[in-house]
């Protein structure tokens, strides 16, 4: 049996016994067949490297408090998860082998809904599907914004990782408001105006007086978030989803510049997704059906395939929302400017992720090669054509050395582009996990040298990515950690914070 580092067998046994007393013995998982699924990863590490020692599954805040108290008493590290999917970033596996997973998926209540303000408060285990069903069952005319694997994952987990989706509410952190947080020493507090007795405005104002604290509990290990407020998008009276495609790989510079102008002036209100030919091909076909050669997929092959179905080297799917007259005038403005840049437009396409329809379509990508290997490489580019091109050229040149196909599903912010680049590989091929890990590290280093950072990263790469941001920043994170969790009980190593 695995134990957390520096925890003696009697101390660990005492922790497990106290946890069982709190949550019930059936909800403390210690047998291999129950624990191994938590350590099963898609990122390029053998499962054993990031395997937890156990998982504890509380059902209520009181139970979480009791487990945290036991962890504190016996110096046992806990890795909190909400629905624990986090695919391609580490699933529910832990940064430090032997850390205990605190699996909160049983805490799945929507504890508040305000139809006037369009806000909800969710516990960790509420899935996007459950929230969607709740709104639909009540006949409430709100949309939710969700990431690719929407139906299965949680607003809490995705927002705490600062994930993105596809509607105008796509920046999940920016559309969350008011957290309830449990610190390692048992302190429970609320951010924003949530601490006022009989608070009226917890989900209305994020900051209150004093430092704005929500952000430091995202991508961090300073506390366990037990409740989170979210803003909902009123269902728009009209919407229109458009696919713009450009024929040539070199078009990337001008198309990024024109999309930026449409994003910054508000003509296009959602991020949308900008994909190259290969990612569109991978969503439609298996690799073996189109390519039998060795090495990375030749880019021209993907382009030929995509041209045959009326798409291009670059394909941008975005939507316009609002009153019908507004959608129409935005459409005319976007159409003119995109066509001037050489785009061909397909004016009415369907993309469920942009219009509140939950699907599992994004999983098609996982079948490209089979074998369950996926790691998202997620650099941030400023929204300038030359930078996006530089990132794509750099990524492609490094990926091809490792026989990996360059794909991107970039999310277009206003002044930033999140280049979400999947490394898709077959974990069953001997030696492949190691190669992909070496590749990923090479990518991080090369992007760092070129002056780029990342919007998100997964276990196994967190230290390397965090180090790019400088030692002073690392030191500040470390001091915050010491202040809020001096024993280092919560998620050691998360985001490179120790």
Which residues bind to ligand ADP, rule: CB under 6 A?
Answer: 80-86, 92, 104, 124, 153-154, 156-158, 160-161, 224-225, 491, 494
- In the complex with ligand ADP, the residue whose CB is nearer, 105 or 263, is 105
Q: What is the CA radius of gyration of the chain?
A: 23
Instruction: Tell me how far, at minimum, the Cβ of 400 lies from ligand ADP, in Å.
Output: 30
Instruction: Tell me how far, at minimum, the Cβ of 270 lies from ligand ADP, in Å.
Output: 21
- In the complex with ligand ADP, the residue whose CB is nearer, 84 or 385, is 84
Instruction: Tell me how far, at minimum, the Cβ of 119 lies from ligand ADP, in Å.
Output: 19
Lay out the sheet containing 28-29: strands in order across.
28-29, 55-56, 100-103, 78-81
Instruction: Tell me how far, at minimum, the Cβ of 297 lies from ligand ADP, in Å.
Output: 28
% helix, strand, coil for the chain, step of 5: 40, 20, 45
* Contact predicate 110/126, CB 8 Å: yes
Displacement of CA 216 from its chain's centroid (Å): 17
Instruction: Tell me how far, at minimum, the Cβ of 129 lies from ligand ADP, in Å.
Output: 12
- In the complex with ligand ADP, the residue whose CB is nearer, 19 or 267, is 19
Q: Give residue for tokens 């390397």.
A: 464
* Contact predicate 341/255, CB 8 Å: yes
- In the complex with ligand ADP, the residue whose CB is nearer, 52 or 373, is 52
Relative to beta strand 233-234, strand 142-143 is antiparallel
Report DSSP letters for 30-84, one per residue.
-SHHHHHHHH--SSSS-GGGG--S-EE---SHHHHHHHHHHHHHHT--EEEESS-
- In the complex with ligand ADP, the residue whose CB is nearer, 276 or 411, is 411
DSSP run (H or E) holding 143: strand 142-143
- Residue number, nearest CB to ligand ADP: 157
- In the complex with ligand ADP, the residue whose CB is nearer, 37 or 115, is 37
Instruction: Tell me how far, at minimum, the Cβ of 55 lies from ligand ADP, in Å.
Output: 12
Instruction: Tell me how far, at minimum, the Cβ of 161 lies from ligand ADP, in Å.
Output: 5
- In the complex with ligand ADP, the residue whose CB is nearer, 144 or 262, is 144
In the chain, the largest separation of any two C-alpha atoms, in whole Å, equals: 71
């Amino acid at each position: 049996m695995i134990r957390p580092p520096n925890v003696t067998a009697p101390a660990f046994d005492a922790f497990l016994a106290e946890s069982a007393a709190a949550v019930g013995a059936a909800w403390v998982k210690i047998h291999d067949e129950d624990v191994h699924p938590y350590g099963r990863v898609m990122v390029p590490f053998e499962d054993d490297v990031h395997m937890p020692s156990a998982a504890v599954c509380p059902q209520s805040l009181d139970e979480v408090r009791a487990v945290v108290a036991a962890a504190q008493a016996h110096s046992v590290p806990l890795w909190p998860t909400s629905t624990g999917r986090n695919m391609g970033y580490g699933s529910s596996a832990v940064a430090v082998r032997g850390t205990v997973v605190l699996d909160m998926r049983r805490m799945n209540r929507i504890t508040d809904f305000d139809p006037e303000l369009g806000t909800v408060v969710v516990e960790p285990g509420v899935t996007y599907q459950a929230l969607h069903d709740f709104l639909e069952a009540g006949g409430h005319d709100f949309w939710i914004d969700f990431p690719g694997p929407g139906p299965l994952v949680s607003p809490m987990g995705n927002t705490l990782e600062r994930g993105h989706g596809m509607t105008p509410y796509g920046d999940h952190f920016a559309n969350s408001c008011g957290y309830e947080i449990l610190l390692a020493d048992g302190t429970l507090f609320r951010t924003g105006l949530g601490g006022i007795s009989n608070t009226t405005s917890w989900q209305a104002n994020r900051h209150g007086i004093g430092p704005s604290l929500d952000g430091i509990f995202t991508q961090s290990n300073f506390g366990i978030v037990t409740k989170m407020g979210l803003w909902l998008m009123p269902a728009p009276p009209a919407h229109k989803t458009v696919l713009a495609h450009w024929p040539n790989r070199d078009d990337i510079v001008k198309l990024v510049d024109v999309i930026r102008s449409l994003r910054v002036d508000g003509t296009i209100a959602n991020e949308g997704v900008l994909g190259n030919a290969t990612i569109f091909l991978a969503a439609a076909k298996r690799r073996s059906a189109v390519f039998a050669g060795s090495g990375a997929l030749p880019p021209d092959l993907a382009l030929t395939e995509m041209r045959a179905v009326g798409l291009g080297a670059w394909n941008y799917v975005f939507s316009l929302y609002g009153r019908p007259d507004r959608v129409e005038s935005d459409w005319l403005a976007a159409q003119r400017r995109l066509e001037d840049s050489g785009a061909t437009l397909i004016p009415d396409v369907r993309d469920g992720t942009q219009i509140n329809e939950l699907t599992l379509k994004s999983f098609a990508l996982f079948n490209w090669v089979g074998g369950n290997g996926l790691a998202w490489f997620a650099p941030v580019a400023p929204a300038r054509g030359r930078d996006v091109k530089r990132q794509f050229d750099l990524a492609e040149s490094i990926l091809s050395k490792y026989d990996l196909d360059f794909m991107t599903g970039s999310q277009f912010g206003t002044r930033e582009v999140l280049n979400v680049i999947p490394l898709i590989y077959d974990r069953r091929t001997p030696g492949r996990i190691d190669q992909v890990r070496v590749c990923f590290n090479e990518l991080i280093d090369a992007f760092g040298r070129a002056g780029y950072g990342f919007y998100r990263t997964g276990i196994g790469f967190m230290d390397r990515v965090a180090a790019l941001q400088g030692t002073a920043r690392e030191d500040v994170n470390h001091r915050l950690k010491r202040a809020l969790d001096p024993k280092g009980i919560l998620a050691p190593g998360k985001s490179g914070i120790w």
